[in-house]
Structure 1
Amino acid sequence: MQSTNDIRRSFLDYFAGNGHAEIASAPLVPYNDPTLMFVNAGMVPFKNVFTGLETAPASTATSAQKCVRAGGKHNDLDNVGYTARHHTFFEMLGNFSFGDYFKEQAIVHAWTLLTKEWGIDPA
């Protein structure tokens, strides 16, 4: 069984090997978004790119974003301690295209990573 470090590294390496810029995790406390207490999703550091306020750092990107969900729509805080699988901190692995490709290629990347790189049987 692979460790979480191995999974993270192979995910980032796969997308970097397919032309995605590897972007470091942003801080857990957003520096430019007063609407969030913590980064709660991998796309949060790119929010200004999606809204047109900033230019994308590259046409495609990949990241392992540190996240905390401690309130709001996706609140895990109330479940911490009740089960062994509920936590408030996690890393969200993501791949992003800023106008380079769309759903079809995203599906190809995901399928290839899961079946060819990680060896998950598609049957």
Structure 2
Amino acid sequence: MRFYRIPASITLAQGVLESGYGEGTLAKKANNHFGIKCHKGWKGKSITHDDDEKDECFRSYKNPLKSYRDHSLFLVDRDRYKDLFELKRKDYKGWARGLKAAGYATDPKYAEKLISLIRKI
């Protein structure tokens, strides 16, 4: 949280939601706890998985820690998320809504799901 300036609650909630509490296919087969796709320029290992489309390319990691670190870098390094870093670190609701607005996920209820998870954790 301190190093990347991303609320820990957001990182944990996204990891839980995206990986199905670590039980999802991407988490189990690729240590990808955030559903991060390969995107242009990805040079690391990958796995194909059906998501919005069939056989999409997703990043694969050596261990969950690498997934969590890459998730932080993914947010820090992309311009579409830069406005989030103007929010207060404890503003998890703003972060959740901002992630959805910036296009992190296609689920229309993504922000509400993150907020609900954070309240439960």
After TM superposition, the score normalised by the length of structure 2 is 0.29
The structure that is strand-richer by fraction is: 1
After TM superposition, the score normalised by the length of structure 1 is 0.28
The structure that is helix-richer by fraction is: 2
Larger radius of gyration: 1
